[in-house]
Amino acid sequence: MILGRVIGEVWATRRDPRLGRAKLLVVRPQGLYEPAFGGRHLVATDDVQAGIGDEVIVCLGAPARASAGGNDTPVDAAILGVVDRVDFDAGLMLAPGAAPGIKRPFSIDLTAGGRR
């Protein structure tokens, strides 16, 4: 799962029938996660009535499909939760090698927007 901020909404009437009427939101990932294809955004289905500006938890891959209305939904990203609060040690997160796979410092910007 990744942390991201909802920054917009997408409307698509012509869609794969298995997508149903799922609401589609545009999410900008926080931190180091780089979405596939380099567009710096994800489009995810919304199960939890998230709104624009909310910080959300996004699940990627197979579990996303299961939550988005059953295993026969062709989605690869789903919003599973609206984040009320994140606590993290800025000092630790800013250090290279803070966690496995983190080779350069990064920070999470939770300052703008969101209903917290």
Partner 1 sequence: MVMGRVVGRLWASRQAAGLGGRKLLLVRPETASGKETTRLIVAIDGLDAGPGDRVLVAHGSRVRDLTVGPEVADKDVIVGIVDGHEVTAP
* Residues engaged in binding partner 1 (CB under 8 A): 5-16, 18-19, 24, 26, 28, 35-44, 52-53, 61-62, 65, 71-77, 112-113
Distance CA(20)–CA(24), nearest Å, equals 11
Least Cβ distance, residue 92 to partner 1 (angstroms): 26
One-letter amino acid of 14: R
Distance CA(93)–CA(29), nearest Å, equals 16
Q: What phi, psi does 112 have (nearest 5°)?
A: -95, 145
- Complex with partner 1: residue 99 or 111, whichever CB lies closer: 111
- Complex with partner 1: residue 6 or 80, whichever CB lies closer: 6
